[in-house]
Structure 1
Amino acid sequence: MTKVERRHGTVVGGVHALRGAAAVAVAVAAAAATVSCGTDGEDGATTEEDFTYVLDSTPVTTNAASSTGVVTDAAKLSARLYPGAFIPGPGNRLLPNTDLVTATPEDGNPDAVDYVIADTATYSDGAPVVCDDFLLSWVAAHRTDLFASDPGLMTRVRDISCVAGEKKFRVDFDAGAGQRYRELFGPGEVLPSHTVASAAGVPDVVDAVNTGDPDALAALGRSWTSTFDLATTDPATVPTYGPFRIEAREGDGALLLSANPEWSGDRPGIDRIVVTGGGDLARAVNGTADVVDAAVRPGQPTDADLAAAGFTVDRTTGSRIDGLTLATDGVFATADNRRAFTRCIDRDAVVAAVATSTGAKVAPVTLRVAGPGSPAAEALTPSATADSSYDPAATRAVLGGVSVRVGFPADRPRYAAEVEAVTTSCAAAGVTVEAVQLPAAAFDLPGVLGRDVDAVLDTRTAYGRNPSVTASPVSTVSQIREAEQALAQEAVTVPLSVEPRLTAVAGTVTDVSDSGTDTGLSWNMDRWISTDHPVTDSAAEGEEDA
């Protein structure tokens, strides 16, 4: 990627923006290396009686735009802390979030989109949501040398025109990319720039971006990671603008969510929600969880066990896929090499490995834009499968004798099984695949892909990905076909299989539904209602006093 720098309103690489005015006056310093915890019954402490929501992975960060956030499913935590400009909902729909911002493409110029931030959009510390927050997400995607970000579609944004502290801004896309504007600024991607800047010692984010101040941008890049790291910074000190805030983090990593006092929308249906990781379905059976987004693995309670405990079980697959993202340097510097690698991957062996490691039957995937089970996928899968069939001889002719390092989060047994299957199938092509289990902290530094590993295995939807094409999952079949062909030629990503899903919801809880996207069940968490945890008058009084 071309390095993007701004100097006095002009940006090397052809990007331009307005000079910022004074920065927002409100700034809250993030308290580092502090953990909020307490004993049962104290303010800010969890109790056994609290409503408990178990995620399939351990919460690590609330920054879903970071590389760490992607591999640890941060969007499931941040969905109602930092809800995006559009909310991924069931049916692969992107629902406008006018509580945050209204986006309007310009008449006659679909590649320019005007955004107006809601007057009521306010952080839990009282600071307003302003365009600086959106600009920070833009520079994070363009300066991957300084920010440990997962850039995606944001790389097709040429510029964000922002005056510091303003409630409106304009986004200019590369030609044709504007039709995907609904995929920008997703959950957990628009973050409090005033908090990041305060922790970084940078007085004005907009000025730092406009001038390309290298020291200021480097400091912002470090703070952009550490501020939202749940083990590094006390999350109770980091403001949110969604219906929930993090009130406390317990010693075991559990997070206590409570109502954001500055939220102007409908009050959450549950006062306090404890969010924890591990995906353990046994917690549903033993009565210590109300909603579980389960880790699909052998040895979990059966559906009959869960039904007997009063839980409804759903195994419907969504739109997320397990897949590889390849580096574009080193062994994969050329498209020829990347395409050759895809041919030594036996997807039938991959899905068999998933079945063995999880007990779940999933389908292989060869498409990058069309969502699993969609009409476009049904129409295009046969040809895509034929074009990407297992052909170790074709791989050997190009890559025979090379080694490929495949990295993946260490706490995902399914990933280990998938990489083992790839290792075996590619060995037949003379390619040595080295499985590299990485702790979440490994992704905190920029450049892990290409430096430490040649490929990364993760799970996500097509939204916000595949920036080189203009089609999205809701485009026409002909548009998606053209995009799929182009992406297959680039081979920067390698789809493998549909994500296995398993959720369990107590019969006392209503309005829970799986989006099937990166936010999972959390997309409407503030709408959940529990007869075991009714809204209390004391919470309502506190909200009114705020």
Structure 2
Amino acid sequence: MRNHPGSGARGRWMLRTVGVLTAGALAGGALAGCSAKNQVPSIGYAVDAVPLSYNGGSTLGANGGAAAVFSRVLTGFFYTGPDGQQVADTDYGTAKQVPGDVQTIQYRLSPEGAYSDGVPTSCDDLVLEWAARSGRFTKPGPGGGQVPMFDAASTAGYRDIEKVECQSGSKDATVVFRPGRHFLPWQTLFSAASLLPAHIIAQATGVPNIVSAVQSADPVVMGKLAQFWNTGWNLTPGKVDTKLFPSSGPYRIDSYSDSDGLVLVKNDKWWGLAPRTPRIVVWPKNTDMKKKMSDKAIGVVDIGAGSVKDLDLSGFSVNQVPGRGAEQLTLSTSGVFASADTRRAFGLCVPRKALFDKLGHPGFDQKSGLGSGPLNSRITQADSLYYGPSSGAGNKYAGGDTAGAQQALSSAGVSNPTVRVGYRAPDDRRAQTVAMIADACRAAGITVVDAGSPTFVPTQLGAGVDAALGGTAGAPGPAGSLSGIAAAAALYTGQGLNFGHYGNGRYDAIVDQLAADDNSTNVLNLRAEAENLLWNEMPTIPLFNTPRTIAFGNGMQSGIVNPTEAGAGWNMDRWVLRR
């Protein structure tokens, strides 16, 4: 077997991680298993993501958990590791920052890199990603003004890029940022589950050269590209044309159906270390998990703790851990919540402390950091040194302040409002959450209705639903990272992940400055200002770090807990299950 530098680096990093984790509960099934047992050829991976699009850079794909499902199908220069950090994937290519006044990153794709259909990876893929997520390509909106052509989940970082220097078909690209702009978390760009095959969109739209098309910026041509980018990679069970979904990773899509799940199989064109198990079946949130468990069709479980009532996990190594995603209510800024006073009223009656005590830390008791109490910040991780000093404004919203809620409703001129809370059902913990909120807010004259549905998506906010209950950026499943890009984008004006359509120019300016400033005093002051502003305007109500249940079947090797947006499947190509 050839030695691939990227696979070696990834493997060494994994071994270091396992060495640390085995000292505590997070080892999961990492070292379990006995070589005398037979290796199973297919592993079922149950995750509460809802795969809606192959395109993890789109609003639909990001909210559908593409990072948890496709990180080892569509690889990139970086992926999200178990601690929420960005880790270089040198199998895909290398990226390095070049010294100079203008921020410049040099990218070099692996010379061996090719999609599963045989077409080489190239810098065209980076140009497509930048064009789609830069925000610079717009069209007339239905109500006047301009709106983005591309339905990007977030433009963070990409909007600061001036140009991507690329000769079509080349393995090299130079990304040059705008003068005066700097993006500290640049490793979040061009990452796993977001870099798409430009040759597919070229074939589908009849645009032969994506690089030339982006450079010429012809609105008709860009409109064609945007239309396919937005919807051409959507995933509908039973209707997946695999020719449109070539892989750049160890696995490729083989099929997708409600009955058989999302089937990933070994990609024979993968140039790195071959996956240790040739077949992974992803069972998404709408799966009858209890039946699949009884059928022994599942070897890995990664779901919200308590989301499946009375789930029998005997025969598994079970880890109950706080996630890096924020369990929260995202509020519409129209309808019943058009007024900040009404949103504050709701925030005052939501029993955040009681919710955390009952639902926020099942199976673990953290004294500090993640999962140690009600979450008081939307954009700062609870284990950050900045968290305590910047998030004090949330302390007045422990919940149950009936008088304060009534006063805020009076200020808004609103009486007896009804709040419909949507979430992706079935989800027992979230159903309990809504019930507890309804009980607590009834005394303030606020009626809370459970609007959970198996087809709920947070784009329904403001159209039949007033609040969305989910993780960071409304995600139903795995969410969160150290960089907090999705968390910040979810409240930034005009972003795809901003489902409540909140907008505040000062907040936007703070986010932009935080992305460029690493002075600790400035960072602390900016984060505190942001949270003071957000607690006053209440576009979301953070509850607690979403607790995750991550379990590996007995006999699993290299199962490593990753309570972030990447989920347990972040290293599925290393899994081995012996029975």
Same fold (TM over 0.5): yes
Match of 2:572 among 525, 535, 542: 525
Q: Is the 8 A contact 2:377 2:391 kept in 1?
A: no
1:102, distance to aligned residue in structure 2 (A) = 2.5
Pick closer, same or farther for the CA change 1:399–1:518 going to 2, 3 Å.
farther
TM-score normalised according to structure 1 size: 0.74
Aligned to 1:80: 72
Q: Give the Cα separation in 1 of the matches to 2:543 and 2:119.
A: 43
User: 2:409 is matched by which residue type in structure 1?
Assistant: R
Count the aligned residue pairs. Answer: 474
Matches within 5 A, 1:49-448: 50-109=42-101, 111-141=103-133, 142=135, 145-151=148-154, 153-154=156-157, 156-163=159-166, 164-166=168-170, 167-172=172-177, 175=180, 177-231=182-236, 232-235=239-242, 237-250=244-257, 252-277=259-284, 278=287, 280=289, 283-284=292-293, 286-295=295-304, 296-297=306-307, 299-302=309-312, 306=314, 309=315, 311-325=316-330, 342-343=347-348, 345-351=350-356, 354=359, 363-377=373-387, 379-380=388-389, 383-386=392-395, 388-390=397-399, 391-393=404-406, 395-396=408-409, 398-401=411-414, 407-419=422-434, 421-422=436-437, 436-437=451-452
What amino acid is the match of 1:55?
Answer: V
CA contact (8 A) 1:282 1:301 kept: no
SS at match of 2:327: strand
Q: Which residue of 2 aligns with 1:464?
A: 485
Gaps of 5+ in 1: 1-47, 533-546
- Given that 2:308 and 2:428 are in contact with CA atoms closer than 8 Å, whether structure 1 keeps it comes out as no
Task: For 2:173 and 2:393, locate their aligned partners in 1 and report how far apart those are by CA, in whole Å.
Answer: 43
CA distance in 2, matches of 1:236, 1:360: 45
Distance in 1, Cα, partners of 2:328 & 2:129: 24
CA offsets 1:401-448 (integer angstroms, 9 cap, x no match): 2776654334444444445555565666666666654665867xxx76
Q: CA deviation at 1:450?
A: 5.9
Bigger mean CA offset, 249-258 vs 171-180: 171-180
- For residues 52-81 of structure 1, the C-alpha deviation after alignment (integer angstroms, 9 at most, x for no partner) is 222224433322222222333221111111
Change (3 A) 1:251 1:355: closer
Task: Please give the secondary structure, in 1, of the residue aligned with 2:548.
Answer: coil
CA shift at 1:506, angstroms? 1.8
Residues 74 and 477 of structure 1: is their aligned pair in 2 closer, same or farther, counting only changes over 3 Å? same
Can you list the C-alpha shifts for 1:115-138, whole angstroms capped at 9, x where unaligned? 333323321112222233233333
Verify the 8 A CA contact 1:340 1:398 in the aligned structure 2. Answer: no
Measured after TM superposition, the shift of residue 161 of structure 1 is: 2.0
CA RMSD of aligned residues (A): 3.8
With over 3 angstroms needed to count, the CA separation of the structure-2 counterparts of 1:65 and 1:267, relative to structure 1, is same
Query: CA 1:253–1:271 in 2, change beyond 3 Å: closer, same or farther?
Result: closer
Which residue identity is paired with 1:464?
Answer: I
Q: Give, in whole Å, the separation in 1 of the partners of 2:223 and 2:302.
A: 36
Per-residue CA deviations over 1:345-383 (Å, capped at 9, x if unaligned) read 432254367469x99996421112332445544x34772
Is the CA contact (8 Å cut-off) linking 2:424 and 2:456 kept in structure 1? no
Q: Percentage identity across aligned positions?
A: 28
Cα displacement (A) at 1:510: 0.7
Following superposition, the deviation at residue 320 of structure 1 comes to 1.5
Q: Which moved more, 1:267-276 or 1:218-227?
A: 218-227
Deviations along 1:145-196, one digit per CA (max 9) or x if unpaired, are: 4333311524643434243433313142685641121222333111112213
The 8 Å contact of residues 228 and 235 in structure 1, kept in 2 or not, is answered as no
Deviation per residue, 1:496-528 (Å, 9 max, x gap): 221121122122211111221101111111122
Q: Identify the range of structure 1 (53-62 vs 137-146) with the bigger mean alpha-carbon deviation.
A: 137-146
1:114 and 1:384, CA in 2 relative to 1: closer, same or farther beyond 3 A? farther
Q: Tell me the distance in 2 between the aligned counterparts of 1:123 and 1:65.
A: 19
Distance in 1 between residues matched to 2:90 and 2:540, nearest whole Å? 33
Verify the 8 A CA contact 1:341 1:399 in the aligned structure 2: no
Q: Hey, what's the Cα distance between the residues in 1 that align with 2:123 and 2:455?
A: 30
Letter in 1 for 2:82: P
**How big is the shift at 1:338?**
6.5
Residue 112 of structure 1 deviates from its aligned partner by 3.5
After superposition, the Cα gap between the structure-2 partners of 1:407 and 1:125, relative to the gap in structure 1 and judged at 3 Å, is same
Give the distance between the partners of 1:406 and 1:215, measured in 2 at CA.
40
Distance across 1 between alignment mates of 2:197 and 2:571: 21
Matched-pair contact (CA < 8 Å) for 1:280–1:294: no
Secondary structure in 1 matching 2:94: strand
Deviations 1:200-249 (A, max 9, x none): 34333334434444443333333224333221432464101111111223
Tell which has more relative contact order, 1 or 2 (C-alpha 8 A, sep 6+).
2
Decide whether aligned partners of structure 1 residues 147 and 156 sit closer, same or farther in structure 2, where only a CA change above 3 A counts. Answer: closer
CA, structure 1 residues 206+508, in 2 after alignment: closer, same or farther (shift >3 Å)?
same
* One-letter amino acid of the counterpart of residue 89, structure 2: N
User: Aligned partners of 1:283, 1:110: CA distance in 2, in Å?
Assistant: 53
Runs of 5+ consecutive residues of structure 2 not aligned to the other structure:
1-39, 139-146, 366-370, 472-478, 490-507
Q: Secondary structure at the match of 1:299?
A: coil
CA distance, structure 2, for counterparts of residue 213 and residue 440 of structure 1: 37
Higher mean Cα deviation, 323-332 or 83-92? 323-332
- Per-residue CA deviations over 1:462-493 (Å, capped at 9, x if unaligned) read 53231542547x97875653343233215555
Taking the aligned partners of 1:426 and 1:134, their CA distance within structure 2 comes to 48
Query: Could you say what secondary structure the match of 1:318 adopts?
Result: strand
Q: What is the DSSP-based 3-state SS (H/G/I as helix, E as strand, rest coil) of the residue aligned with 1:524? A: helix
Q: Distance in 1 between matches of 2:456 and 2:179?
A: 33
| Contact 1:121-1:128 within 8 A present in 2 as well | yes
TM-score (norm 2): 0.70
